[in-house]
Structure 1
Amino acid sequence: MPFLSKILIFPIKSLDGVEVTQASLLEGGAIAYDREFAIVNEQGKFVNGKRTEKVHALRSSFDLAARTVTLGVHNQSQFQTFHLDRERNALASWLSDYFGYTVTLQQNLYMGFPDDTEASGPTVISSATLETITSWFPGLSLEEIRHRVRANLEIDGVPPFWEDQLFGKLGQYVPFQIGDVAFLGSNPCQRCVVLTRNPWTGKRDSSFQKEFTIKRQQTLPNWAELSHFNHFFRLTVNTKVPPSETGKVLQIGDEIKILQSQAIHSAATDEGNTKLPG
């Protein structure tokens, strides 16, 4: 029986994650605290791994109960702790000094800052998928692959790429359930340069995307809906959470069920929203 084996939350978009044993759903569909904050420049653009590799060298740890973040730089010994609410200006100043230009911290308590605002729920992948991808790249660890992928929900008790059953034809959703929480699977997420980089240094592997794409096409399971794969640099499943699920709780060990084989039609196709959760 498929079950939820890991929950990862990324309180500040593009920075390190926090592993938790349970999490509630926001009205906008996201997991509470996930991408609650985003770093933006003076033009209002996200400062993330897509725009600057310096993001990868930032080390962050969070105390969600205390509402604090501790920041440092990879391979450096000095760290500083900030309260996310009371010391937000000081935190922004520290980040501005690090990046070399002015940044601020924006907050969204409705659904955080997902890349896919149409399918703003948590992203899903199986443990076996991560293990399989690790086998494609000798020298990379499972933990490094997990850090590159940055998925919210990890499923165990299933074969590799089991999650590719959770999306239907373009413009359709596949209903499934994790514990008591209902989800609609939307689309396989289109990846970007972040997946090709070392998650701690930002160094890019120039051959990663080509090798990944070849292997992904070769191992695509029969249950995957091909209409989404105009290319094969896609991984994890984006989801939508109905408003009725607001406040419900996910927890490790929850069973996962696909509710019906017939997908639900959506008002619009998803190709414009197949983006990486950064």
Structure 2
Amino acid sequence: MHVSALWRHPIKSHGRESIESVELVAGQTMPWDRAWAVTHEATQPSAKDGDWAPCHNFVIGTRTPGLAGLWARLDEGARRVTLRHEALGELTFCPDDAQDQARFLDWIAPLCPANRSRPTGIVSAGARGMTDSAFPSISIMTTASHQAVAAPLGGVLEPERWRGNIWLDGAAPREENDWIGHEVRIGGAVLRVEEPIERCAHTTANPFTGQRDADTLGTLERSFGHQNFGVYARVIEGGTVRVGDKAGRA
């Protein structure tokens, strides 16, 4: 197997960015992945402190499908994010700056359904990352498993829907499920695969238009008897991972 793609999502549920390499650190999420999260009117006060909190405290694609159409670009040194959406154009802002947060909230408003809690601000998650898992995780997915889901849907399905961090070529379909409880070496890092990822309605939305146009959840259920796709893993030995690096059971 080898690494075919690496992705990070600087602001939880608000855009994705392809990268060529990453330095993984033991016990941490992918650097700059879900480094910020967008709060809403019903966010619990404790979630506003920047510590990890469950996803229902934040504006996410399950409730706001238009967010799926966002793409991101991060300037790490300046802590500045550029978001792009075909219906909104482009916005560059600093998530830590109160005035820039206000500009972001105005810009993102057209994507937010009127019957949902409105976005109110942005919190920084620090190095922990606001992953959906209760532990600092990195998501691993395989192109073979993606193709197994795409085939019943006509063969055309964008892999960006799954919001994975590390994509691997060369595995058998669904092979990653056999890695749960075991270690895998990817490039210079070793990760222990902990659990499957149960998918949500965010995967049904097109990553270019933000429109829900594919029955990913129904396809998973009919084809495999569950709604899992990909696995969560924990970094136990840090190291550099690059696109093209080899991967396999440790």
Q: Distance in 1 between matches of 2:74 and 2:123?
A: 17
Map of 2:139 onto structure 1: 123
Q: How large is the RMSD of aligned CA atoms in angstroms?
A: 2.4
1:183 Cα deviation after fit = 1.0
Is structure 2 residue 169 aligned with structure 1 residue 151? no
Q: Distance in 2 between matches of 1:89 and 1:23?
A: 29
CA contact (8 A) 1:188 1:234 kept: yes
Q: Distance in 2 between matches of 1:154 and 1:108?
A: 24
CA contact (8 A) 1:128 1:158 kept: yes
Is structure 2 residue 11 aligned with structure 1 residue 12? yes
1:75 Cα deviation after fit = 3.0
Is structure 2 residue 199 aligned with structure 1 residue 188? no
User: Which amino acid counterpart does residue 109 of structure 1 have in structure 2?
Assistant: G
User: Which amino acid counterpart does residue 213 of structure 1 have in structure 2?
Assistant: E
CA contact (8 A) 1:59 1:73 kept: yes
Aligned length: 229
TM-score with structure 1 setting the length: 0.73
Residues 42-61 of structure 1 mapped to structure 2, 5 A cutoff: 42-44=41-43, 45-61=57-73
Which consecutive unaligned segments of at least 5 residues does structure 1 have?
Answer: 168-172, 218-230, 260-278
Q: Distance in 2 between matches of 1:71 and 1:256?
A: 32
Change over 3 Å in CA distance of 1:255–1:59 after alignment to 2 = closer
Map of 1:232 onto structure 2: 226
TM-score with structure 2 setting the length: 0.81
Change over 3 Å in CA distance of 1:113–1:138 after alignment to 2 = same
Change over 3 Å in CA distance of 1:3–1:207 after alignment to 2 = closer
User: Which amino acid counterpart does residue 127 of structure 2 have in structure 1?
Assistant: Y
Identical residues among aligned pairs (%)? 24
Which consecutive unaligned segments of at least 5 residues does structure 2 have?
Answer: 44-56, 113-117
Deviations 1:235-255 (A, max 9, x none): 00111223xx35x32222322
Map of 1:95 onto structure 2: 104
Is structure 2 residue 140 aligned with structure 1 residue 104? no
Q: Determine helix, strand or coil for the equivalent of 1:241.
A: strand
Q: Which one has the largest radius of gyration?
A: 1
Q: Determine helix, strand or coil for the equivalent of 2:126.
A: coil
Q: 1:177 aligns with which of 175, 185, 195?
A: 185
Change over 3 Å in CA distance of 1:6–1:38 after alignment to 2 = same
Is structure 2 residue 96 aligned with structure 1 residue 80? no
Q: Distance in 1 between matches of 2:141 and 2:215?
A: 23
Q: Distance in 1 between matches of 2:70 and 2:247?
A: 34
User: Which amino acid counterpart does residue 49 of structure 1 have in structure 2?
Assistant: G
1:26 Cα deviation after fit = 4.1
Q: Distance in 2 between matches of 1:103 and 1:117?
A: 24
Q: Determine helix, strand or coil for the equivalent of 1:95.
A: helix
Q: Determine helix, strand or coil for the equivalent of 1:123.
A: strand
Q: Distance in 1 between matches of 2:183 and 2:68?
A: 35
Q: Determine helix, strand or coil for the equivalent of 2:182.
A: strand
Q: Distance in 2 between matches of 1:117 and 1:94?
A: 31
